[in-house]
Amino acid sequence: MITKIINGSLKCATGLALAFTFATVVTGQSPNVQAVEDGTKTAGATQSIKSTKAAEKITPAADVVVAADSVPAKADPEKETPVAKTTPDSVPTVDVPAEEQPAAKTTKQAADEGWRFGLTPYLYMTGISGDVGALGRTAPIDQSIIDVLGHFGAGFMGTFDATKGKFVFFNDLFWARLDEETNTPGRLYNTGKVTVNMTMIQPAAGYRIVENEKGLIDILGGVRVSSVKNTLSFTTGILPGFTVESRKTWAAPTIGLHGISNITPKFFLSFLADVGGGFGTHITGQFYGGMGYRIRPRVSLLAGYRYLKNDYSNDSGFTYNTNMNGINLGMRFRF
């Protein structure tokens, strides 16, 4: 009887030991799996690993059954799939190494790849002096800015420009009609009147040789096309009166420079100068120097001084030799 009691006690103790070992193995794995996923280790996880090893030594592996999903599987580096990043719009994108990613374009680089345009209507309040003639008859003309404004018949003035990268395209349009009562030579004629109807178009193309935060410089080559109609009308004095008129159109190649200097982000200075001649033009040229103020990022006010010279004549007796100088006011729009 005593032997049976002892054997039963041993079997009971062995069963309790096996149950305790199984509980230790199963409950000890969970904190260790979480620690591996979080990339951290805890004291409980370390202790559970030691307990598991001890249990493996005491109990044969065949007698212990552990759930397959409770043991962390080792990652195979060769079969590991790259994890895709997720954008805020939930569109998966593959992670690309920094050296393989295209560099982001700056605002200036993006602007250089496309067209940029500018439109500048202006008012040229100029005086005019020199000689005009038609059919071999000439008469002097001399008007100040005030005189021109008083005898200004009509006019339109403006420039248009376009840039793409370093290339610049420019066109200046000037049309005006001036009337002046002129002095007559002695008593030969009673009264005299000179009317000048002028149109000038100057297309040009160039290259931007300097451009930075301080300003820019363009070199330009173009042609100044002038179309002028001179009308001379004299009433009878000692000599009988007459009225003659003649229109001529001519072109002269020009070369010049244009530049802008930024004094502040809003205030800037600008200049334009060119010179040319040939094909009946003895000389033609202009100079503009002024200042500007950016009232908005794409709108600027302009004011400056402009001098314009044209000296042309031909064998038919047409003469247009004038100097124009005065104040230039404008507003520039960029788009």
User: What is the average per-residue pLDDT within 117-125?
Assistant: 95
DSSP string, 222-283: EEEEEEEEEEEEEEESSSPPEEEEEEEEEEEEEEEEEEEEESSSSEEEEEEEEEEEETTEEE
d(Cα 260, Cα 164) in Å, to the nearest integer? 17
> How much is the pLDDT for 334?
95
How high does pLDDT run on average in the chain?
75
d(Cα 226, Cα 314) in Å, to the nearest integer? 14
In the block, tokens 């069963």 appear at 15
**Full-model pTM:** 0.64
> How much is the pLDDT for 308?
96
Q: Which of 306, 189, 186 is nearest to 244 (CA)?
A: 189
| Model confidence band, residue 100 (pLDDT cutoffs 50, 70, 90) | very low
> How much is the pLDDT for 153?
65
Out of 21-35, 57-71, 182-196, 292-306, the most confident range is: 292-306
Q: Would you say residue 129 has pLDDT above 80?
A: yes
DSSP string, 153-184: EEEEEEEEEEEETTEEEEEEEEEEEEEEEE--
| Model confidence band, residue 304 (pLDDT cutoffs 50, 70, 90) | very high
Q: Would you say residue 104 has pLDDT above 60?
A: no
DSSP string, 82-109: PPPEE-TTS-EE----GGGSPPPPPHHH
| Model confidence band, residue 140 (pLDDT cutoffs 50, 70, 90) | confident
Cβ atoms 305, 326 nearer than 8 A: yes
Q: Would you say residue 319 has pLDDT above 90?
A: yes
DSSP letter (8 states) at residue 290: E
User: What is the average per-residue pLDDT within 36-49?
Assistant: 41
Q: What token pair was written down for 287?
A: 């100079």
Domains, in order of start, for the chain: 2-74 (no CATH), 107-334 (2.40.128.90)
> How much is the pLDDT for 265?
94
**pLDDT tens per residue, range 194-211:** 888 999 999 999 999 999
> How much is the pLDDT for 185?
60
> How much is the pLDDT for 289?
98
> How much is the pLDDT for 171?
97
More confident residue, 206 or 83: 206
Out of 189-193, 315-319, 320-324, the most confident range is: 320-324
> How much is the pLDDT for 43?
42
User: What is the average per-residue pLDDT within 132-139?
Assistant: 88
